[in-house]
Amino acid sequence: GGRVGKIKPGMGPTEDNDQFTEGQPGSGGVRTVRSLWVASSLGGVNTMSGQIPSCIRVLQKTDPRDAEKNLSHLASFVPEGLRDELYQRADVPLKIGADKDEDRKYVLSEHNRDGDSYRSPWTSKYDPPIENGLQPSDRLRSIELDLNVAFDKYREMYFGKSSVSSVYLWDGSGVGEGSGFAGCVCIVNQIDDEGGQSYWNSKHFVDAGSPSGGSCKYTLTSTIMLCISPDDDHKSSTYISGSLVRQNQREFRLTEEKGHIVNIGKFVEDVESEMRSEIDNVYIQRTKNVVQMVRTERSSGPTQGQQHTKVLNEAVLAMAMSRKAKVANK
């Protein structure tokens, strides 16, 4: 496994992307990934720097439920020296761990991993314990802890008590107070209802620049992965799964270090609300309309078809009446 120290500020998806699908459980899979990779390679992406973005694009076009399996197959095509970066950049469903000292759950991701151990955002200890595990600076650790407390309230308000959130920060190239930093806000809301596997995953990569003139510029790259799947007994049921990626930049007023907490919190809340509305109003509603049309009884006919027929009949009748009036006038 890689070390979290290799993660660079802003690491993650670098462009807006959305891919939502609906279909039968078990569709897609490794065969699709292999064919897409071959097509991408034949397109001329053979450089070391181009392979990682190509893998990310392939992964974004596949079913998020198969993300871990597909990522493993994609990694076999990448030189060993690039695999750590691929695992750090790729979006896969998040998992949950437990901090036994604090009796609290936290999110497991590539951004709190060092080897095979994961760092808790509450105690900053690694599980399993390791020596010389990578840690944020004291200044950044203080901000990280306050952000975790703030987002713990945020996720409970928006997603309920069963959800889990974690915030991880790492130092940028600068040193000392006022230097830039990067981090990741992770939120997991997993529902296991009667065998069904449904979840909401959101990851927000934030890159905070060095303050200048009483303000600070933030770049936020947000990824939402959503899966709504029934239990395994309903093989013919339709599922919805997909991912949405958006990148935004904003500049906020900053007069003290603790101001990062308010700025990042507001930025994430605004962007996540916009993306949630986009998913609901565009993808979910469109799928509901399609399913409703498919399930309409043939005897009654589709509503759109009835309206279209009515308009045509009225047009034909109007034309006939017009011709009849012309004949009468002659």
* Tens of pLDDT, residues 118-164: 999 999 999 999 999 999 999 999 999 999 999 999 999 999 999 99
Q: How far is CA 177 from CA 39, 140, 180, 249, 262, in A?
A: 48, 9, 9, 22, 18
The pLDDT, as a whole number, for residue 23 is: 52
pLDDT of residue 315: 75
Structure tokens at 188: 């997991």
User: pLDDT value at position 205?
Assistant: 95
Across the chain, mean pLDDT equals 80
pTM: 0.73
Give me the residues of the chain with pLDDT under 70, please: 1-49, 173-178, 193-196, 231-238, 296-309, 323-324, 326-330
pLDDT at 192: 72
| Residue 27 confidence (pLDDT) | 37
Distance, CA of 50 to CA of 65 (rounded, Å): 25
Predicted confidence at residue 251, as pLDDT, reads 97
pLDDT confidence of residue 179:
79
Distance CA 83, CA 198 (A): 29
The kind and range of the H/E element at 268 are helix 259-278
Q: Is 226 left (phi over 0), alpha (psi -120 to 50) or beta?
A: beta
Nearest CA to 217 out of 181, 246, 185, 166 is that of 181
Which pLDDT score is estimated for 298? Answer: 53
